[in-house]
Amino acid sequence: MLSVKNLTVAYDDTPVFSDVAVNFNAGKITGIIGPNGAGKSTLIKAILNLIKTRQGHVDYDGQPIKSVQKQIAYVEQRKDLDLTFPIDVFDLVLIGTYGKLGLFKSPGKNEKQASHAALAQVSLTDFTKRQVGNLSGGQLQRVFVARAIVQQAEIIILDEPFVGIDLQSETAIMKILKQWRDENKTIIVIHHDLNKVTKYFDDLVILNHGIVDFGPAKEVYNSKNIESAFSADLSSVLFSDKEGM
Amino acid sequence: MTSLIDFFNALGKYDFLQSALITAVMVGIMSGIIGSFIILRGMSLMGDAISHAVLPGVAVAYMLGINILVGASLFGVLAALLIGFVASRSKIKTDTSIGVVFSAFYALGFILISMAESSTNLHHILFGNILAVSDSDIMTTAVVLGIVILFVVIFYKELLVTSFDETYAKTYGLNVQVIHYALMLVLTLVTVSALQTVGIILVVAMLITPAATAFLWTDKLGVMLILSAIMGVVSSITGLYFSYTFNWASGPAIVIVAALLFAFSFIFSPKQNFFRLKRSVTR
């Protein structure tokens, strides 16, 4: 279990959130939802040790998260990358093996085989030699998921993986997430589309500068929580058909 | 054509020309390789800054009679650290920080050089003096070339991942700062070696132009490094030939050839696809 305890993060003197405590369970796909600026990305950056925290800590099965850093795979937002970079699909997936290789070792036969297998898993074998800028949004996202596959991590964190991608890619990625769940991995997904929340996630964290609620998605995803995290208007639109009857 | 034959005859006859050619080739290779990483990391301005910031180090080395590589490396890394410090400890953006720090170092360098005027020639440092390469200069350049190749071979995957996706590299615990400053150190070594061939002012051209040209022809980093080195070598040799034949200064001659190779690639490379781009713009 990944536990976040009393976590406070602030940029300069403005706190993004304070005293956040939440658990992410192994063998579950956990969604994180919340309005823009609620601190979703900040929370996962703190888990990934990418930003300084004011107080609190993050544990994985009782160990500090820093000591299991190589067990975390991160699928970041595609817009943060230079897609003109001279790298093809295969080499990008191969990067996923770098962490466990450590310094001075180059990827060998095993790493290359793993990368080919991961590309086959996301149905991109035909695109192995394609430069990364010449892919559709959905294909590129599947490449990043393939990179996470070769990492063989125990914790996988995805930052808005379904933004701007086709339905086929979304389904393919969801299938991989479910495989990871069956392998008892901890999967954390920042998500923007409230409609699919209960369909995609086992557990749900609702965030708005602090935890609004967390727990099983079917229980936590209710009009009261959505109203307090987002707005009464949104809540009434989303839940009118269920509760109005 | 006779001038080409003259050039080769002269190459056989004059040691100084041989030394110049060997140095130019080595500098072409190392600046092509390191330059590739500089442009891919969006650090062209940083490359320019470091190449100028080594000037006080060169002056101090002359004054104290120590190897200029030592003096220059010291100031190059100091400038890189200071640029990083100012940018991270204030709301000032990195390019502004670069502008402030490197111009200050450059100015300091001018003052120090003028104080040490008796033993050095500012004109040669600024514009290069490839025809006065000594045997020990060749040795130094060869050592730097060795360091560059070893650095890139040993840390290839770290350089690749930090250039393409620094955030990801941090998530698996890679110390990206160490890689950054190691690259800055190697960059200062390359800069000092290139001083002799093209001079401080044009070093940045040797770092950026061959790499930019190579970038237009390939989608593989490994190929880009090799192609960039080849572009650097071709520019160096051809530039040296023009310099010898038409009595042009060697630095500008080499840089003009590099720029022509870039212009050709800009128009004709399939990746750039200039003609189709042009058509779609005019439509």
Q: Would you call B219 an interface residue with chain A, using a CB distance cutoff of 8 Å? A: yes
Q: Which of A74, A78, A94, A159 to mutate to test the interface with B (most CBs of B within 10 A)?
A: A74
Choices 3.90.180.10, 3.30.300.130, 3.40.50.300, 1.10.1370.30: CATH for A2-243 = 3.40.50.300
Q: Would you call B230 an interface residue with chain A, using a CB distance cutoff of 8 Å? A: no
With an 8 Å Cβ cutoff, are B161 and A48 in contact?
A: no
Of A50, A72, A85, the CB nearest to B167: A50
Contacts of A70 in chain B (CB under 8 A): 172-173
Does A231 have pLDDT greater than 80?
no
Does A9 have pLDDT greater than 60?
yes
> Pick from B139, B279, B127, B259: which is nearest to B196 by CA?
B127
With an 8 Å Cβ cutoff, are B171 and A81 in contact?
A: no
Q: Would you call A13 an interface residue with chain B, using a CB distance cutoff of 8 Å? A: no
Q: Tokens 């299938």 belong to which residue?
A: A175
Contacts of A107 in chain B (CB under 8 A): 157
Does B166 have pLDDT greater than 80?
yes
What are the residues facing A155 on neighbouring strands?
A72, A186
The answer to whether the beta carbons of residues A146 and A115 sit under 8 Å apart is yes
For A134, nearest residue in chain B (alpha carbons): B219
Count of A–B CB contacts within 8 Å? 73
For B32-91, the pLDDT digits (tens) are: 999 999 999 988 888 889 888 999 998 898 888 888 888 888 998 899 889 888 988 888
Find the CATH number of the domain harbouring B207. Answer: 1.10.3470.10
Q: H-helix or E-strand containing A66? A: none
pLDDT of residue A245: 40
What's the pLDDT band for B278 if we cut at 50, 70, 90? Answer: low
Of A48, A81, A106, the CB nearest to B171: A48
- Tally the domains of chain B: 1
Q: Tokens 């099983």 belong to which residue?
A: A216
Contacts of B273 in chain A (CB under 8 A): none
Residue B10, classed as helix, strand or coil, is: helix
Contacts of B160 in chain A (CB under 8 A): 87, 91, 95
Q: Would you call B279 an interface residue with chain A, using a CB distance cutoff of 8 Å? A: no
The answer to whether the beta carbons of residues A210 and A20 sit under 8 Å apart is yes
Secondary structure (DSSP) of A44-101: HHHHTT-S--SEEEEEETTEEGGGGGGGEEEE--GGGS-TTSS-BHHHHHHGGGHHHH
With an 8 Å Cβ cutoff, are B156 and A103 in contact?
A: no
Q: Which tokens belong to B119?
A: 């033993």
Contacts of A101 in chain B (CB under 8 A): 157
Q: Would you call A80 an interface residue with chain B, using a CB distance cutoff of 8 Å? A: yes
> Pick from A61, A14, A37: which is nearest to A230 by CA?
A37
Does A59 have pLDDT greater than 70?
yes
Give me the phi and psi of A86, to 5 degrees please. -75, 80
Of B279 and A186, the structure prediction assigns the larger pLDDT to A186
Domain extent, residue B252, equals 2-282
Supply the ipTM of this predicted assembly: 0.89
